[in-house]
């Protein structure tokens, strides 16, 4: 899929573990792994909102489009 979720660097910059991040945004660590590993086929706007709130970022900072 040409759209990727890139949150590794933001988590590292903010000193958040995957578990803590998952708790703060209200999803399981397994689902965070799905996002990080590029296996997600969809992201709910409510989840995207929570990610942006927790990481204090804009959606364009975590969603990257790459041509196939």
User: Which residues, at least 6 apart from 34, have a Cβ–Cβ distance to it below 8 Å?
Assistant: 40
What pLDDT score does 29 carry?
A: 97
- 21 contacts 32 by C-beta, under 8 angstroms: yes
Tell me what the pLDDT averaged over the chain comes to: 94
Q: What burial class does residue 7 get, using C-beta atoms within 10 Å of its C-beta: 0-12 exposed, 13-18 middle, 19+ buried?
A: buried
What pLDDT score does 68 carry?
A: 77
The one-digit pLDDT tens for each residue of the chain (68 residues) are 688 899 999 999 999 999 999 999 999 999 999 999 989 999 999 999 999 999 999 999 999 998 87
Domain covering 3-65 in this structure, CATH number: 1.10.260.40
Listed by start position, the domains of the chain span 3-65
In tens, the pLDDT along 28-41 reads 999 999 999 989 99
């Amino acid at each position: 899929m040409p759209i990727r979720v890139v949150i590794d660097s933001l988590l590292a910059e903010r000193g958040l573990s995957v578990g803590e991040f998952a708790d703060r945004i209200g999803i399981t660590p397994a689902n965070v792994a799905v996002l990080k590993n590029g296996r997600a086929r969809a992201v709910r706007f409510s989840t995207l909102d929570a990610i942006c709130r927790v990481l204090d970022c804009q959606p364009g900072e975590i969603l990257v489009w790459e041509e196939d």
